[in-house]
A and B are shown apart, each in its own frame.
Chain A
Amino acid sequence: MSPKRGGRDRNFPREEHPGDSYYGRPIINPPVWEEREIAGYLFTGGLAGASSILAAGADLTGRPALARGSRGMAIGAIGVSLAALIKDLGRPERFLNMLRVFKPTSPMSVGVWILVGYTPLAAGAAASDVLGRLPREGRIAGLGAAVFGSAVATYTAALIANTAVPAWHEGRRELPYLFAGSAASAAAGWGLIVAPRTENEPAVRMAVLGALVELGAEQAMERRLGMIAETLQEGKAGKRLKIAKALTAAGAMGARLLARRNRPAAIAAGAGLLAGSALTRFGLFEAGMASARDPKYTVEPQRQRLAARG
């Protein structure tokens, strides 16, 4: 093939430059995180943290089945979380390099130290239950796990918000509440599955409260995002988030209306809440990826910002 002069006669496919981006390519480099590991961790971390809180309340108020089931879920979910986080590293054998420093400017660094504090406490509380030994120490560990758990369930909002990913960064004010609500509804969902009817009223209340906060925060976030909200409403992310909202709302209603009377209904409602929380996280993860891939979500808000400054 001999190249011809003149520009228009080249016989390989050519793209016109669009003018408002560099051939439509992303401005930022999209996250290199695996969806299963990291979106999965956003869910299991929230589930673990809030389960520890539910377990501590159940322990203090004499609801042993709810306490034991929630403690078990807390350590199980955080175990899965740690495995996912380490597996997602490009060099998993260097995981311990995370413990060289503590950096408040890095939510990932802060998060690692939160997990370092949380995991032994959650493990201790669950071990005390399973072995039936040291109940007083188990209770104290459980209370500590609840306090750390509130951080485990919410710091992940700062983790994703502290990036140049438009849908995540611009949602930074609402994401902590969205994640807290989503974690609460997930933990309550598991509580409904493991607790008998005589013990499950706190889980029912937590399911309703968590779902309301989750859905309300998501509404507020979509309003604030402006044109970036498209990434939460369209495509794969939009589909996931629509189903997530339906599952969360149905699960909370089912819990409120039926779970106190009917055991199978309580289990179904709990499963719905868990699935809703998981899909919320996978939906938000995908929305972030979509907003990173299309340069317009980076360029247009920055253009508006420049125009507003004059």
Chain B
Amino acid sequence: MAERMGFFTDTSICIGCKACEVACKEWNEVPDDLVGWAGSSHDNSIGLGANRWRHVAFVEQRLPLGDQQANFQRDGGDFRWLMESDVCKHCTEAACLDACPTGAIFRTEFDTVVVQEDICNGCGYCVPACPYGVLDKREEDGRIFKCTLCYDRLGDGEEPACAKACPTDSIQFGALEELRARAGDRVQELRERGVEDARLYGEDPGDGVGGAGAFFLLLDEPEVYGLPPDPKVTTRDLPETWKQVGIAAGALLAGAAACFAGARR
């Protein structure tokens, strides 16, 4: 197996240009589904889905950003924009992969998670299985689509289209171990420069999905960006659930037997 590859998305240097969204759509031939301005800052693509494998979130806050002077508000008050390019997390323990009943979702030699479109039958079980809301059904097609971490490009030694297109290197592609080290340095640097809310999200192999293959540097709580604060792969709870199902099934048979025992005519 090749080295584990992933994304480190450093939101502190995202400028919200959406080149990642466009490059992804171009390379992967993802259908156009522009929704128009959503009314939520400069967001016009709402969130991740079958036709949006990268999504740039925009948050406007009346808060200072480190020691920067925004001089943006007419009243001279604080203002900052949070921008984050979201993507499939390519989890170490991927709920979508565990849930897939056809084997369409598989783990590649780069330790990424990919849906095989010639096998998926659109059962939709992976959609609510994902704790991040990444996968969705393409209605006009019937199948499920998500980021492949440009599996086809990786095979040729190319980086994914979004990372290639990102003009500020907010999206960094590379070997996961190296990215984690780089991210640790970056978050420390930002804190030293006064951005105390800087934190990494998804980089910890001890988290509820065993660590994400695509992780982030955030400047606020995860839910502000539409990310779950403590995601957990439900497969971890499944053995206990199966046990309860087994007991319930046995109880159903035993209870029914009791209903017949000694019943009158």
Expressed in whole angstroms, the Cα–Cα distance for A91 and B141 within the complex equals 8
Q: Smallest CB–CB gap between B120 and chain A, Å? A: 7
B226 touches A90 (CB 8 A): no
Tell me if B256 and A109 are in contact (CB < 8 A).
no
A57 pairs with B260, CB closer than 8 A: yes
B133 at interface by CB-CB < 8 Å: yes
Taken together as a complex, chains A and B put the C-alpha atoms of A206 and B121 apart, in Å, by 38
Tell whether A91 pairs with B130 under 8 Å between CB atoms, given A57-B260, A172-B240. Answer: no
Residue numbers in A under 8 Å from B73 (CB-CB)? 6-7
Residues of A within 8 A of B61 (CB): 17
Q: Mark A30-66, 1 if CB is under 8 A from B, else 0.
A: 1111000000000000000010011001101100000
A14 at the interface (CB under 8 A from B): yes
Q: Of B2-10, B185-193, B228-236, which stretch is located at the interface?
A: B228-236
Q: A17-B41, A108-B101, A158-B245 are in contact. Are A201 and B263 (CB under 8 A)?
A: yes
Contact in complex: A106, B99 (CB < 8 Å): yes
Contact of B229 among A32, A198, A202, A303 (CB under 8 A): A303
Contacting residues, chain B, for A97 (C-beta < 8 A): 102, 104, 119-121
Taking residues whose C-beta sits less than 8 angstroms from the other chain, chain A's interface range is: 35 or more
B-chain residues with CB within 8 Å of residue A303 when the two chains form the complex: 223, 229-230
The answer to whether A184 touches B252 (Cβ under 8 A) is: yes
Q: A151: which of B95, B99, B240, B249 is its contact (CB, 8 Å)? A: B249
List residues of chain A with CB within 8 A of the CB of B135. 29
Is B245's CB under 8 angstroms from A31's CB? no
Contact residues on B (Cβ < 8 Å of other chain), bracket:
35 or more
Instruction: Tell me whether chain A's interface is mostly helix, strand or loop, or mixed.
Output: helix
CB-CB under 8 A for A202 and B103, given A146-B253, A292-B128: no
Min Cβ gap A199→B in Å is 8
Instruction: Pick the contact of B47: A25, A180, A302 (CB < 8 A).
Output: A25
Is the C-beta of A161 less than 8 angstroms from some C-beta in chain B? yes
Tell me whether B250 is interfacial, beta carbon within 8 Å.
Answer: yes
Flag whether A128 is at the interface (Cβ < 8 A).
Answer: no
Whether A100 lies near B129 (C-beta < 8 A) is no
Q: Which of B206-265 contact A (CB under 8 A)?
A: 223-231, 234-235, 237-238, 240-242, 244-245, 247-253, 255-260, 263-265
The chain B residues found within 8 Å of chain A, CB to CB, are 37-41, 43, 46-49, 57, 59-61, 72-74, 79, 95, 98-104, 119-125, 127-137, 141-144, 223-231, 234-235, 237-238, 240-242, 244-245, 247-253, 255-260, 263-265
Could you list 14 examples of A-B contacts with CB < 8 Å? A8-B74, A17-B224, A28-B128, A29-B48, A32-B136, A57-B259, A103-B100, A106-B100, A106-B125, A164-B231, A172-B241, A205-B258, A206-B255, A206-B259
